[in-house]
Chains A and B, each alone.
Chain A
Amino acid sequence: MPHSREAHLGVSLQIRRPRKPSPLRFLIDGQKDNQDDNLSKLPNDILLAILDQLDVRDAARTSVLSKRWRQLPAMLSRLVIDVKNFRSNGAFKPSMDALVHTNVAVAKATNSMLSRRKSSEYIIQLLHMTFYLRDDDSISIGRTIWVQPEDPKRLASMFHKLRVVNLIGVPEGCDLTWTMFILDAAPSLKELYITFSHVMQVWNHVCEMKLDKERRRFNSCREKNVKWEAYNVEHHSLSTLTMFNFQPEDYIVRHIRRVMEVAVNLDDIKAVQEARVWLVQGQVSIKAVQVSIDQEAEVFIEEQNGSRDRLARHNSLPCYAAA
């Protein structure tokens, strides 16, 4: 039964740029291949649309076909690299070895796909990575995602235009200091979103027996929050920090303070606890919490219970922040 051991963290990195004519356009003509196959007569846009339908492993394999196909993966505007694509066939047994192995494969694939994009001619619209987040060494996420976390400058060429970062499914209680690394590597970042997942709550209900042991694991994770090196450079671009499924816990508030110190132009912090769904009990209970944080980082909370309708509305509402 998969539970917290399999909790994974999705990272969506969206790189946005003002609209301009697709750089692929001019490639439509004049692409000559010596192959006899008819498929290669199609323009790059179409071949890329086909590759878009494939998972990253299948897409990478097509580049074996010819010189022309070799160039295509580096032109993809959407890169989705998911642990699910790297599980060995058959039932996935969540052993520690398997998790490590899969994470390594994701890192390799990401590295390999990104290293082929030397020129900035093709814009990455979306880079989405999913990997397993292990509660007892969350810091290794850094090493997993960022190929060389000790040296963000190496990534600067890749991420210097990054405008929006979404961190999805961060387990509650997990270290946040590593997110500072994103600020370091992405000086143009304007919006940072963090969504916490309630793995622990759901999990507790599923498997009461192991509760204490797991809780201890989560707590130990919480204590490791200080390993990331102090970040001393000011970040001038970040203007909004948004957290979903927010819990007003000390380590999060501390993290917010840290971001506020660094991001000198940060003018909007939104924290929303949206909806909690207690799966096992079969009932939906909703707490909408609006939190406003001023410069002294005072946390102010309101709770309310609502119906399903409210849940829907809350999800579509922009979350609320007051100065």
Chain B
Amino acid sequence: MAAPESGDGNNGAARMVTLISSDNTRFEVEAAAASLSQTLQLTILDGGGGGGDGIPLPNVDSATLSKVLEYCIKHAPAAANGGAPNATAVDRAELERFDNEFVNIDQSVLYSLIMAAHNLEIEGLQSLVAKKVADMIKGKSPMEIRRTLGFPDPTPEEQAEMNAHMLEYGWAYE
């Protein structure tokens, strides 16, 4: 009898792994969800992260990690289906609704999130947050961009530089 290839095991219980945030909080999640991270995937495939061991993530604090995992858990089933083929329109709409809601958060959280997604190599999350930040920039004037992104108001010196720059990039303002 050939053993099933799947890592889900025979008894229906999904395999769990433990991730440890920089502030030493332990998170137990399904291996399938954690495997959305390219960085973690290899370790998990090698059987790491199970039992009492846990995988330390020294660059990710617990608040950010719990947010990241919320995303992974939601997206894991679709990813397991190899993306979209089996997904119904309803499923996709639901994921989209979740994504929109998910990035509707404070800017500083957004930045921690994209940094974590970058380190953990979670492609979908990276582009989701990048898109959100890009949306905050789209169609705005330089002053509006500065304010939206939390840049301090320019000093007179910087203002002069900005003006010179706007002349140079005239085609971007027409």
Physical interaction between A and B: yes
Q: Which of B134, B146, B162, B170 has the most CB of A within 10 A?
A: B134
Interface string of A53-87 (1 = CB under 8 A from B): 11011101111111000100000000000000010
B151→A66 contact, CB < 8 A: yes
A-side interface size class:
20 to 34
Cβ-defined contact, B137 with A62, below 8 A? yes
A301, CB-defined interface residue at 8 Å: no
In Å, the complex CA distance between A52 and B137 comes to 12
A65 to B111, CA, bound (A): 17
Chain A interface: which of B36-44, B90-98, B123-131?
B123-131
Give 26 pairs: A residue, B residue, CB < 8 Å, sorted on A: A37-B149, A37-B150, A38-B107, A38-B111, A38-B150, A42-B115, A43-B118, A45-B118, A46-B115, A46-B118, A50-B130, A50-B133, A53-B131, A53-B134, A54-B138, A60-B169, A60-B171, A62-B145, A64-B162, A64-B165, A65-B151, A66-B151, A105-B171, A108-B170, A112-B169, A112-B171
Contacts of B152 in A (CB 8 A): 35-37
Q: Which of B50-75 contact A (CB under 8 A)?
A: none
Bound together, the chains give a CA A43 to CA B114 distance in angstroms of 10
Count of B residues near A, CB < 8 Å? Answer: 34
The secondary-structure label for the interface of chain A is: helix
Distance between B158 CB and nearest chain A CB, rounded to angstroms? 8
Chain B hits for A35, CB < 8 A: 151-152
Chain A residues near B169: list those with CB within 8 A.
Answer: 60-61, 63-64, 112
A-B pairs with the 9 shortest C-beta distances? A53-B134, A60-B172, A64-B142, A37-B150, A108-B171, A49-B130, A57-B172, A50-B130, A37-B151
Within 8 A of A (CB), among B118-174: 118, 126-127, 130-131, 133-134, 137-142, 145-146, 149-152, 162, 165-166, 168-174
Provide the bound-state CA to CA distance between A35 and B151, in Å: 7
